[in-house]
Amino acid sequence: MLIDEDFIEFTSNYFSVEKKFIHRQTRIDSISHDPHALINFSFEIEKRYNINFNDDDLAALKTVGKYIKLIKEKGGIIETRKKAA
């Protein structure tokens, strides 16, 4: 799965919003108005894509497209987790 598709699906699941309402131009703060949820969302993205954000990164992340672009720039990979047997 491409990072673009994975990120949109992850965002949809994280915020319980249908994927059809999430596009590259969608502002993250329009999906959730809870600042704590947005901070936790960033932590989950770091874990999911094996990257680290700095404060400047977080200040610039306003849209889904900006998140996707930064994940790619930082060499993000989709972490696949094996399920316990």
Q: Would the pLDDT of 84 be above 50?
A: no
State pTM to two decimals.
0.82
Q: Would the pLDDT of 78 be above 60?
A: yes
DSSP 9-33: HHHHHHHT--GGG--TT-BHHHH--
Question: Taking residues 20-48, what's their average pLDDT?
Answer: 93
Fold of the domain spanning 3-73: 1.10.1200
Q: Residue 1: which pLDDT band, with cuts at 50, 70 and 90?
A: low
pLDDT digits (tens, 9 = 90+) for 6-19: 999 999 999 999 99
Q: Would the pLDDT of 71 be above 80?
A: yes
Residue 66, both tokens: 């900006």
Angstrom distances, CA of residue 27 to CA of 30, 32, 59, 65: 5, 9, 13, 9
